Amino acid sequence: MAVMTVLEAVRTALGEALDADARTFILGEDVETGGVFRATEGLKARFPGRLIDTPLAESSIVGVSIGAAHYGMRPIAEIQFADFIHSAFDQFVSEASRWSYRTRGESSLPMVVRTPWGGGVHGGQHHSQSIEAYYTHLPGLKVVAPSFPADYRSLLRASVDDPNPVLFLEHKRTYRLIRQEIDGAAAETVIGRSRVTRRGGDLTIYAYGLMLHESLAAAESLSAEGIECTVVDLLTLLPLDVETILETARNTGKVLIVHEDTLTGGFGGEIAALIAEHAFEYLDAPVRRLAAPDIPAMPYAHAMEAFFMPDRDKIATAARELAAY
């Protein structure tokens, strides 16, 4: 059985995409030498001329990708850290996300922007941001955030094959932490579908990225206490799998939404609104969110970083309170 880390799954998917279509190429800062996390390591030798180092200019990286995609190429852009992506925000808002709409669907934009996101790596305020709430506000853009290596591999391939722009979020804490036997593992191949990774009748937990793994660990410990949780791996944030979200909320009547972005304006609010609007009569308790506190950025001190980050103990505590409601 082939065991892969998240990072190995990403690298494998990139190699498969380059091998499958000569129009595919990778661009970004230091990608020729492997990138800061080594995601593209070894690919330059296998695919000469198809990895392009760029200046430290994220707006240009995304802008060049838009132009290349328009002219028939299939660019895969890497933004070295999600914290640096905001200088390209206007490229996403005014160009990439609106391309198909403003051409009445006559022109597609097959491009992927990959970026490592999230905390838990002692990266401080400039290397720990959760950016998903900004970009899930853009109809026309797809936002993918897997949790397991098999899904990273399959959904990255699906993102490259998609005719429209995809922002592919890779939680940097999981790169070498999470391993999985790939052969025979469940692997989602369709953007926009979630997966129930654990079933229980007392409450439902929704999560993605690192928080999915923390939620599964919390659910395991709660099971020993007689509290059984359903855990949903969202996989794709835009578009959301509305059907699975509502079905699991109705099945248990109590829901906990977990993300490591700050609470106010965080992506969990969208899920909460969806459930409140369409499954209210099934609820046995108020919708509960667990997220980072509303402070401007990730603290540098390790103890304060731990205070900022949701984890399995905090999730278990919130789930106990919800189960007892």
| DSSP string over 79-108 | -SSGGGGGGGHHIIIIIGGGHHHHTTTSS-
Q: Look at residue 162 and give its three-state secondary structure.
A: coil
The predicted structure's pLDDT at residue 148? 98
Residue 260 predicted with pLDDT over 70: yes
Q: Place 183 in a pLDDT band, splitting at 50, 70 and 90.
A: confident
* Domains of the chain by residue range: 3-181, 195-323
Compute the distance between CA of residue 240 and CA of residue 178 in angstroms, rounded to an integer: 24
Structure pTM?
Answer: 0.97
pLDDT at 184: 85
d(CA 139, CA 157): 21
Residue 279: the pLDDT is 98
Indicate the CATH number of 3-181 among 3.40.50.970, 3.30.200.20, 3.90.1200.10, 3.40.50.720. 3.40.50.970
Helices (H), 224-287: 242-252, 268-278
Q: For residues 31 and 17, give the distance between their C-alpha atoms in angstroms, rounded to a whole number.
A: 16
Per-residue model confidence as pLDDT tens digits over 144-155: 999 999 999 999
Contact 188, 235 (CB under 8 A): yes
Catalytic-labelled residue, pool 122, 127, 213, 278: 127
The tens digit of pLDDT for each residue in 72-113 reads: 999 999 999 999 999 999 999 999 999 999 999 999 999 999
Predicted local distance difference test score (pLDDT) of residue 197 = 98
Average pLDDT over residues 280-285: 98
195-323 — its CATH code?
Answer: 3.40.50.920
Report percent pLDDT > 90 for the chain: 98
pLDDT score of 250 more than 70: yes
Q: What is the average per-residue pLDDT within 253-264?
A: 98
Which pLDDT value is given to residue 122?
95
Q: How confident is the model at residue 1 (pLDDT cuts 50, 70, 90)?
A: low
Decide: residue 264, CB within 10 A, 0-12 exposed, 13-18 middle, 19+ buried. exposed
Question: Quick check: 312 pLDDT over 90?
Answer: yes
Catalytic: 278?
no
Spatial distance between the Cα atoms of 92 and 39, rounded to a whole number of angstroms: 23
